[in-house]
Amino acid sequence: MPPFARTVTVRSPAKVNLQLAVGPRRLDGYHEVVSVFHAVNIFDEVVASDGIPGAGINVTMEGDGVEAVGVGEENLVFQAAKALGEYADVALDVNLHVRKDIPIAGGMAGGSADAAATLVACDALWRIGMGREELEKLAARLGADVTFALHGGTAIGTGRGENLTSALISGQYHWVFATSNEGLSTPEVYGECDRLREGRGIGDPQIREALMAGLRRGDPELVGPQLCNDLQVAAISLRPTLELVLETGMSFGALGGIVSGSGPTCAFLARDEDDALDIAAALSASGTCDSVRIATGPVHGARIVDSGTNGGSLLEST
């Protein structure tokens, strides 16, 4: 990093889908979905700093399991910086350091959170001043979940999930997440979903009104039984042990339990913070999953938490 390089740090949240309704496969290969996204306080951070002129985009990562993720063009952080820089015609010289806390390939859209964080960080670092609407359009090109990571809160997504409308909700929700060390591939889970549905007529995805009513009331007792995920059967088919994780969480008093997105993380809604701690402890002791996290939602989307210079001396650059 050059001496006195400017840095911008952005924090971006994980998501859980309170509902994920998956329609038939479209001609372009994607599925029409209706998704109720909910951002929770498990965050990744991206630190963007001035790169050396001509050195290009340099991605580094820290956190559990990052060895499995490439840091070249395949990384969503790289793709986000490139897309923004090309769009705004800016020299693509930037260091991007990702501090990962969102489980990788866990169905919580960690990669998308990183891409959203990168858009916000590079927009500030490069002083582009993109409007929110423009950033969301660029985000949608990178992936359906990237738009939501920018947006945060609780929102209904249609199309591939990228057309967002904020949902009316009240209250704070307490979650327990049971995670696995080994991820599931989103395309494989969708493929398994198509295979299991073969020969069955699948209608257009519909929002669950009872879920939205529970969210408006801010009542976890009403929300819990309405959580639903059309990818769950496919995720369980590929990872049968998830069924036991779900049964275990429910038997310890969760109000609802679902596979998060394409899995393998399982999400449990608790009555309150104390119940969340009890469910987390019991799940952890049960040995049915690799680790357990508690979290609350909704939280904000990708936003700057720090900016300044590295204040480094010339010696640091050698």
Size of the residue set binding ligand ATP (CB under 6 A): 21
The yes-or-no answer on residue 15 being catalytic is: yes
Q: Which of 44, 50, 123, 145 is catalytic?
A: 145
Binding mask 181-200 for ligand ATP (x = CB under 6 A): --x--x--------------
Omega of the bond prior to 220 within 30 degrees of 0, cis? Answer: no
Q: Which residue is nearest to ligand ATP (CB)?
A: 111
145 in contact with ligand ATP (CB under 6 A): yes
- Name the residue among 168, 97, 96, 145 with its Cα closest to residue 261: 145
* Shortest distance (Å) from residue 313 CB to ligand ATP: 31
Q: Say which residues have a Cβ less than 8 Å from residue 224's Cβ, sequence separation at least 6.
A: 254, 255, 256, 269
CA distance to 23, 24, 197, 220, 250, per residue, from 190 (Å): 11, 11, 11, 29, 25
Asked if 183 and 260 touch (Cβ cutoff 8 Å), the reply is: no
* Binding-site member from 13, 51, 85, 110 for ligand ATP (CB under 6 A): 110
* Shortest distance (Å) from residue 53 CB to ligand ATP: 25
- Name the residue among 222, 229, 217, 170 with its Cα closest to residue 18: 229
* Binding-site member from 111, 220, 224, 256 for ligand ATP (CB under 6 A): 111
* Binding-site member from 5, 48, 83, 109 for ligand ATP (CB under 6 A): 109
154 in contact with ligand ATP (CB under 6 A): no
* Binding-site member from 96, 108, 116, 167 for ligand ATP (CB under 6 A): 108
112 in contact with ligand ATP (CB under 6 A): yes
* Shortest distance (Å) from residue 277 CB to ligand ATP: 25
Q: Say which residues have a Cβ less than 8 Å from residue 123's Cβ, sequence separation at least 6.
A: 84, 129, 130, 135
162, containing H or E segment: none
Q: DSSP letter string over 17-69?
A: EEEEEEEEEPTTS-EEEEEEEEEEEEEEEEEEEEPPTT--EEEEEESTTGGGS
* Binding-site member from 262, 279, 294, 297 for ligand ATP (CB under 6 A): 262
Q: Which of 15, 123, 230, 275 is catalytic?
A: 15
Q: Which is nearer to ligand ATP, 36 or 76 (CB)?
A: 76
Coil vs helix vs strand at 153? coil
The yes-or-no answer on residue 82 being catalytic is: no
- Name the residue among 102, 131, 129, 133 with its Cα closest to residue 115: 102
* Binding-site member from 51, 106, 205, 220 for ligand ATP (CB under 6 A): 106
CA distance to 11, 83, 183, 233, per residue, from 119 (Å): 11, 9, 25, 34
248 in contact with ligand ATP (CB under 6 A): no
Catalytic residue list: 15, 145
Applying CB under 6 A, the residues found at the interface with ligand ATP are 69, 74-77, 98, 104-112, 114, 145, 183, 186, 261-262
